[in-house]
Structure formats: structure tokens, C-alpha cells
Amino acid sequence: MSNELHFEKSFWGKCCNTFQEDEKHYTYGHLMELKRKYYSFVLPNKSVMDIGGGPTSMLLKCHGLTRGLVVDPIDYPSWTVERYNSMNIDVRVDFGENVTDTGFDEVWIYNCLQHTEDPEKIIHNARRAAPVLRFFEWIDIPAHEGHPHELKEDILNKWTGGKGGTCFLNENSCYGRCYYGVFS
């Protein structure tokens, strides 16, 4: 297991206390232009692939999802997979760099590209998999253990093929400068 994957798996531990990450999802979802109803996101009859969704994907908070797929390189505890399956969400333990799927309505990428080997390839694969990419990533954070990439606005604009928004956040456990958008 690479240093980045070991770092990320250690962060999640037994996946029992996910509140801080779950709380962030509502900020991400707002910036990713997801319609919200109470503590859920409304997706009328959409199929969505979540690249890097980890043990607590935003897809678990969705109503109207017709098909979901979480692709993440870490093999989390079996109970997290059972929870996904109960919500009609499949899980594939694989790298986003290996995604070859097509035919989804949307792909979501949020707070994962700093951990990866080739973020540009992951975005390319996502753009091929669906006509809509919903996106949120932290930017301008120098590379460090477990996060080998410093993501920047200009390079993400190039890779997504659009112009994303940026802002500084200090809410819902989110702190720092981010890049976000919906690209089609």
C-alpha cells in the first residue's frame, strides 16, 4: 500500500466516527449545486459515479438515485459496503486512474485528488464517464505526507475544461481555499 493510501486509511480508522466528513458534505453539495431537502440531496432519477467517495460517500445522502457507484482504492470495513448496497450503491475497490466506465448521468469528485497518483487522468476518466462533472477540491495547500499534490485553480480549469469558482471557507469543518463547479 502506498504512503498516500496508508495515510488515508489511517485517517478513517474503523470508519465509525465520520461526523466531521459528513458535515463537510453539505458545504460541498451547496457549492456543487446539489438540490437539498433537509439533510438529503435530491437527484431525480440520476445515476452517479463517485470517484474517491471513501466509506461515507455523499451518495448515501441522496433521494432519487437510480444507480450509484463508489470507486475508491481503499478496502474499507465490510459493513460500509453493506450500507452502500442497502442504498443501491455499488462499491469498487480501485483507483480513479483505472476508471473506464461510461453511461452515468453524473460523476462526482470531491476532496480526494490530493491523495491520488494522477489527478489529471482521474478528471479525464470522469469526463468520459458522464456528461456532467460535479467537483469540489481544496487548493493552494502545499503537498505533504499523504497529499502528494498541490492543486491550483489554473491547472484545475485546464483539466476540467471549464472555469471553476474559488472561495475561502470557514464553516462546517471546512477551512481553506477551495475550487468547485459543475462542468458539462
Find cell 468547485 and name the residue. 180
Of all residues in the chain, the percent with pLDDT exceeding 90 is: 80
Query: Which residues neighbour 170 within 8 Å (Cβ) at sequence distance 6 or greater?
Result: none
Buried-exposed string 109-148: b where 16+ CB fall within 10 A, e elsewhere: bbbbbbbbeebebbbbbbbebbebbbbbbbbeeeeeebbb
The C-alpha cell that represents 108 in the structure block: 462526482
Q: Record the pTM.
A: 0.93
Backbone φ, ψ for residue 158 (5° rounding): -65, -50
Architecture of domain 3-183: 3-Layer(aba) Sandwich (3.40)
How far is 158 from 177, CA to CA, in rounded Å? Answer: 18
pLDDT at 3: 67
pLDDT at 146 over 90: no
pLDDT at 17: 78
pLDDT top residue among 11 and 173? 173
pLDDT at 10: 67
Per-residue pLDDT of 35-50, as tens digits, reads: 999 989 999 899 999 9
pLDDT at 8 over 70: no
The C-alpha cell that represents 153 in the structure block: 485553480
- Residue 69: burial class (beta carbons within 10 Å; 0-12, 13-18, 19+): buried
pLDDT at 12: 63
Per-residue pLDDT of 107-142, as tens digits, reads: 999 999 998 999 999 999 999 999 999 999 999 999
Of the pLDDT bands very low, low, confident and very high (cuts 50, 70, 90), residue 102 is very high
pLDDT at 56: 95
| DSSP annotation of 31 | H
pLDDT at 95: 96
The domain ranges of the chain are: 3-183
